[in-house]
Structure 1
Amino acid sequence: MSSKDIEICKLEDLDKLRSAPKLNKNQSEKLFHELRSIINESDWLTIGIMSPSLEIGMNIIRRIEKKFECNKMECVTLPSSEGPIFLKANQKTGEIHARIEFGLGEGILISCQHYDNSLTSKTIGPFPLDFFD
């Protein structure tokens, strides 16, 4: 399903998308407000970034860390070549793993995690790569 087929009004509208939609300012502000409340209730985040390059992906991680006042995470696994990248960052471990991955869409996935196993973690997104600018 493409973002042109559905209207993006709430976080759940992103669930069926393979790649991040283009959002207008009002959509971004509404989604960010909804996302922030879910993040504030979580214990830690895991972040997945589908990006055209490692540099772009790492810049996005740094913006998210700053926006939510997270500790700076360290990239422990780097790809041996250039290309489209998938980054997986785990706030709990402080580690970022990066690998070349062809055929992915573009976007940011945020998973809100909990120490209490009775609470369900939820992956939200994909958000546009410029969502946290």
Structure 2
Amino acid sequence: MSVQNSQNLSLDSALKLLKTLSCTDSLTVTTAGDRQQLAQALLLVVNASEYQNIGICADSVEQALTALVDYLTTFEYPLPGDLTPVPMQTPVYLKFNSQKMTYYLDTYTGDYRGVLVSCQSSENESLNGTYGHFPLDLFASV
């Protein structure tokens, strides 16, 4: 991933960056600058949209819940009170709906690991879309 200075990233620039990087098989963030710009772009789009759905594919329930907490904290959402790991010994898919503040958890048989964020806006349709695949730990150090 090659990115430019993120100091003055506009919403349009953020959307272009996210659309360019979305739906790739694997998004590798190799530098701190890339991570910072990707995080900033996603946060700009999330803050401009009305609500989001977050899809997480992880190796374990614990890993999925950790990613969810990191993303929700960064997006300034309250954490659901029922984030208790359930015993599952397989990879999992977790889907979170920020409009209802609920999540769904199930087993996952695919190879992908990461996060998809689907943004919705009735006021600015250019924001509507699914972005990612983002690293599980994109916001771990934010």
Q: TM-score range by the shorter chain?
A: 0.7 to 0.9
Q: Which moved more, 1:104-113 or 1:17-26?
A: 17-26
Alignment root-mean-square deviation, CA: 2.3
Identical counterparts, % of pairs = 25
> What's the TM-score, normalizing by structure 1?
0.81
> What's the TM-score, normalizing by structure 2?
0.76
Give the 3-state SS of the residue equivalent to 1:73 in structure 2.
coil
Map of 1:4 onto structure 2: none
Q: Which moved more, 1:48-57 or 1:9-18?
A: 9-18
Q: What CA deviation, in whole Å up to 9, does each residue of 1:72-129 have, x standing for no partner?
A: 23669x8774211111000111111011111231111111112x28725211101111
Cα distance in 1, alignment partners of residues 27 and 57 from structure 2: 10
* 1:53 maps to 2:60: yes
Q: What CA deviation, in whole Å up to 9, does each residue of 1:23-78 have, x standing for no partner?
A: 321111111121111111111111000100011101111111211210223669x8
Map of 1:127 onto structure 2: 134
Cα distance in 2, alignment partners of residues 50 and 127 from structure 1: 10
Cα distance in 1, alignment partners of residues 114 and 2 from structure 2: 15
Aligned length: 125
Cα distance in 2, alignment partners of residues 99 and 19 from structure 1: 22
Map of 1:94 onto structure 2: 101
Gaps of 5+ in 2: 4-16
Give the 3-state SS of the residue equivalent to 1:125 in structure 2.
strand
Cα distance in 1, alignment partners of residues 107 and 61 from structure 2: 9
Cα distance in 1, alignment partners of residues 32 and 124 from structure 2: 35
What is the 5 A alignment of 1:1-133?
Answer: 7-9=1-3, 10-73=17-80, 81-114=88-121, 116=122, 119=125, 121-133=128-140
Give the 3-state SS of the residue equivalent to 1:47 in structure 2.
strand
More strand by share: 1
More helix by share: 2
